[in-house]
Amino acid sequence: MEKLTNRLLSWASILDEKTVEQARTSSRMPFIYPHLALMPDAHLGKGATVGSVIPTLGAVMPAAVGVDIGCGMIAVRTQFTKAQLLGRDLTALREQIERAIPLSAGRDNRKIVATAEPRIAELEELAAKNEFDPSHYAGHWRHQLGSLGSGNHFIEVSVDETDAVWMFLHSGSRGVGNKIATHHIAVAQRLATQWWIPLPDRDLAYLVEGTDEFRRYIRELRWAQRFALLNREEMMDRVSRQLSEIMGAEVEERERINCHHNFTESEMHFGKRVWVSRKGAIQADAGRPGLIPGSMGTASYVVSGLGNPLSLNSSPHGAGREYSRSAARRTFTHDQLREAMTGIEFRDTDAFIDEIPQAYKPIDRVMADAADLVEVRHTLRQLVNVKGD
């Protein structure tokens, strides 16, 4: 860990100056307490740095949570072994998963399936309790539940160091969460203009605790966080069904972990109750299970938190980008992507060049930087990868 300023601590050994300056700017906001923590995967974001932990007194910056509210990971350890899995048709498994789960931006379910119905009912009840209608943001939100999205979202079937088979996926609150976040970022920016509040960056606009705008944001944010968690549960159930069909036996769940990495919670730190916004970071209380994915084609990790107080009990959420998407497309080739994915069943298309592992920080370096934040329980290597364009 390096103390960059009195209000900015960093665990990142790979950090460019633009990211440092963005984090410095965020850390100077008057309600930051006690300091902003940069995780090993930190990189430039919108307003606030991706891979940062931002504790605030009496205010929340919606852009510091991010537009994919509740984005995170879910993993399930099964009874199957690597030898059993390699005896099956992995191309067929990938294609079955791709048919069972809508992929890519703007893709939703054509109908609401039986497993989604109780989850949708729960979300309808929660929305009514929180006095808002998510259809105001996205009329088709019910059909979004159980869909993956695009970008760095993925579904994988992996094996750990004991040769146990895991199902592993990454997604969030889809279009409805994005629209909720975008609305409240705009509200915060409008209020800053209305009240002549100077901001070093418009995306650091904030909502003040105790106001109607703040209360509405927290209610809708919590709904979107729940949507994201249930979205992952719904997709995991579908992946489990496809794996069961390929293996010829029902999946026996030995362990299930589901964690956010774009969210805010009210927590006690350094003697005060603060809002902790983790934008690309997971909660890592002592003993708390967590998931840290690598990039496409590299290892991922099942971890336990170490409860490091200086990090606000947090850890990285993944590898963290070194190249922007456009820079990655200019730098790398389809052949390099194929080489990086050797031995992994994936949809071979140049649409994924911007997700090539070389566009990200080395995950082993990130994990070494996080040695005082988490303890590694399992190392996962993917055999099947599913992504949206």
As a whole number of Å, the CA-based R_g of the chain is 20
317 is catalytic: yes
Out of 184, 317, 334, 378, pick the active-site residue: 317
DSSP 8-state assignment for residue 64: H
Bridge partners (DSSP) of residue 72 are 171, 260
Nearest Cα to 141, choosing from 180, 190, 169, 168? Answer: 180
Strands 8-10 and 36-43: parallel
The answer to whether 279 touches 51, Cβ cutoff 8 Å, is yes
**Burial of 311 by CB count in 10 Å (0-12 exposed, 13-18 middle, 19+ buried)?**
buried
DSSP string, 256-325: EEEEESEEEEEEEETTEEEEEEEESEEE--TT-EEEE---TTS-EEEEEE---GGGTSEEE-S--BSS-H
d(CA 279, CA 108): 26
Which residues, other chains included, contact 290 with Cβ-Cβ below 8 Å and sequence gap of 6+? 257, 259, 282, 283, 284, 302, 303, 304, 305, 315, 374
d(CA 382, CA 166): 9
DSSP string, 181-224: HHHHHHHHHHHHHHTT---SSGGG--EETTSHHHHHHHHHHHHH
- Residues with a catalytic annotation lie at 317
